[in-house]
Structure 1
C-alpha cells in the first residue's frame, strides 16, 4: 500500500477503493488500496477524518489509524461499513494534520539544535493533544541554555528553509544514521533541513520550516537520568500567548499595577500575607483555648475523666481539632466534637492520664453515628451522618469507665 501522506502531506482528499476489513471485538477497521491517512507511529498520533461512500451516500468517522501486518487499518465509528471494491472519498481532518506537522517538525528542529550545539541526543518523542515532549540524554539544563535553544530554533523557523524528503538504501547511509535504524529496515526515508538536520522519519512534515510557526519551550523535568522537555509550536503557541496575555492582564488588574510595579506589589502582599497567617494561627490558638475554658461547664464526668461532647454548627475540621487539642491539654480529659450541618465532621481526642484508646471508643460510636474514620489512640477523625448527642454521652462515659 502506498503511503500518499508521505509523498504529499498537503493532499487532504483522495478517492480510492475498499480492499478489505478487520473486525476486532466491537470495532470495525477498513483497508484501502491507497490512503492519505497517517497511521500512528514515531511518536506522532494518527490522522482522523471522514469516509464518504458514493453508492450508499453514507459517511463514516475515522477515529484512529494504525499500521498492522495486513496494512493500514482505518478504525471507524459504528459497525456499518462499505462493501469490498466500493469507491470511497477519504477526507483528512485538516486542522489536526497541520497541527501534527507543526509539532513534529518543530521537534526535529529542537532535537537538531540540542544535538548540534550540545551533543545531547533525543531518545524519546511524544506528540500530545496539548503539549509535546522530547527526552534528552542530559541530567539537567540551565535556563540560559533553554533560552539560547529557543532563540536558535525560532531563528531557523523564521529563515523559512526548504524541507526535503529523500529515500535511500540502508547501505548508502553513514554509520551515524544507520545506528539509529531498526536492524530490519532496508529502505530509509530521510527528512532533511539543509545545513541543520537530516533524520530518518515516517511522519508528515511541511515544505518549509516557516510553516512550523513560533516554538515555545514550556518546562523541563528530570526523568530516569534524562531530561523531559515540554514544548509547543505553531497555532498552539499563538493560543498559549493569547491565554498568557489574558492572564497577565487579569493579574495586573487585580493588583492595580502593571509590569515591574505589579511584581513589587505582589511581593509586598506575599510578605503581608505570611505575617497575617502567622497572626491568625496565634489568634486561633487563643480562641480555641478560650472556647475550651468556657465549655468546661458543659463537660460530664466519668470517674476521674472529664468528657466534653459538643456540636458546633459552623465549625470545620480545623476548629474541631484546635478545640479538642486545647481541651485535652490538661490531664484526664476526653473530647468528642462534631461540626457542620451534615454530613458532620467528627474529632475524638484524649489527654494524658486517659487509658482508653480513642480507636476503641470510635469503633463503638461509628455505627451509632452512621459514620467512619481513622486515626490513633490519641486522636480519631472522620465523618458522620447522625448526631445523637445524649446517647453519645452515655456511650463515651461507659467506654471510658470500662477497663482497657
Structure 2
C-alpha cells in the first residue's frame, strides 16, 4: 500500500477519489484519502466530500480495522455509493492549525528536554505532559527560547528507519505513553533542522509544516500540576 496523501503531500486541499467501502457505523472509506485519521495526539481531519451535486460534511476521521482512514459524516445521511467518484475538500484552516501546533510541540520537547508522558493537539492550542517534579524556574525564558527556534525558520523533513534501527536507538523515542508502531518494517522520523542546524529527530506519523517559521509566535498558557512527577505545559498560537 502506498503512503496516504496526507503524509506525502500535507498541503494538498482537494483530491478526487473513488468510494471503496462503507463501515457498519456509516463511515466512508476512499481509495485515496487526504484526511488524517485520529492518532498520536492529533485529531482526525474534517471537511467535505462532493459527488453528483451532493455535499457530505465530514466531522472527523478515524483509523479503521485495516488501517484505512474512515471518514465519519457529521450526521447520519445518504452516503455516496461504493464505486462513486467523489471530490474530497479538506477543512484546511483547521488542519493547518494542527500542523503548526504539532511542529511547535516537537520544538517544546527540545526546549524542555525531559521525558514526555502525554500530549494533545488542537486547532490553535496544544499541550505536552512532562516528567517534571518541580515547575520550571523561568517560564518566560522557555517561551522566548521556543519562539527563537521558531524564528530560525528551520526546515522540517522526514526519513525512515527500520524497526531494528529504532530498537538500537531508543533515545529517539521521547514519549513514554505512546510508542511508535512496530512490526511494519519501517518507522517514520520527523526531523527539524538540517545538518549542523538539526535540533530534533523523533518518530512521528502526524502532519507538520514545512518550515518552523510557518508556526508563527507561540505563547505559554498554564503549567499545571498533574501529580508528583508530572507537569502539563500548555501552548497556543498567538494568531
TM-score, scaled relative to structure 1: 0.53
Deviation at 1:143, TM superposition (A): 4.4
> Aligned pairs, how many?
225
Distance in 1, matches of 2:184 and 2:231, equals: 29
- For the Cα contact (< 8 Å) 2:126–2:234, is it kept in 1? yes
Change (3 A) 1:128 1:58: same
**Aligned-partner Cα distance in 1 for 2:119–2:4:** 22
2:140 corresponds to 1:136: no
> Aligned residue for 2:170?
175
Alignment of 1:216 onto 2:224: no
Residue 129 of structure 1: how far off its partner (Å): 5.0
Work out whether 1:99 is the aligned partner of 2:102: no
- Out of 141, 146, 150, which is 1:153 matched to? 146
Cα separation, 2, equivalents of 1:73 and 1:182: 19
- The SS at the match of 1:23 is coil
1:178 is displaced (CA, Å) by 6.1
Q: Deviations over 1:143-200 (max 9, x none)?
A: 41x2222111111111101111112212233232369534545321111012210111
Task: Map residues 220-259 of structure 1 onto 2, 5 A cutoff.
Answer: 220-225=223-228, 226-233=230-237, 237-238=238-239
- Structure number with higher relative contact order (C-alpha < 8 Å, ≥ 6 residues apart): 2
Find the aligned partners of 1:113 and 1:192 in 2 and give their Cα distance: 15
Unaligned runs of 5+ in 1: 239-404
Contact 1:170 / 1:178 at 8 angstroms: preserved in 2? no
Question: What is the match of residue 126 of structure 1?
Answer: 120
Aligned partners of 1:48 and 1:64 also within 8 Å: yes
Structure-2 residue corresponding to 1:23: 24
Gaps (5+ residues) in structure 2? none
Q: Scaled by the length of structure 2, what TM-score is found?
A: 0.88
2:207 is equivalent to residue 204 of structure 1: yes
Moved more, 158-167 or 173-182: 173-182
Q: Distance in 2 between matches of 1:46 and 1:141?
A: 32
Query: Which consecutive aligned stretches of 4+ in structure 1 deviate over 4 angstroms post-superposition?
Result: none
Alpha-carbon shift at residue 223 of structure 1 (Å): 0.5
Q: Alignment partner of 1:39: what SS?
A: coil
User: For residues 317-374 of structure 1, what are the alpha-carbon distances to aligned partners after superposition, in whole Å with 9 as ceiling and x for unaligned?
Assistant: xxxxxxxxxxxxxxxxxxxxxxxxxxxxxxxxxxxxxxxxxxxxxxxxxxxxxxxxxx
| Shift of residue 135, structure 1, vs aligned partner | 0.3
More helix by share: 1
The aligned runs of 1:314-325 (5 Å cut-off) are none
Q: Is the 8 A contact 1:220 1:228 kept in 2?
A: yes
Q: CA deviation at 1:17?
A: 0.4
**Residues in 2 aligned to 1:108 and 1:168: alpha-carbon distance in whole angstroms:** 19
**Cα distance per residue 1:240-261 (max 9 Å; x no partner):** xxxxxxxxxxxxxxxxxxxxxx
Work out whether residues 189 and 200 of structure 1, in 8 Å CA contact, stay in contact via their aligned partners in 2: yes
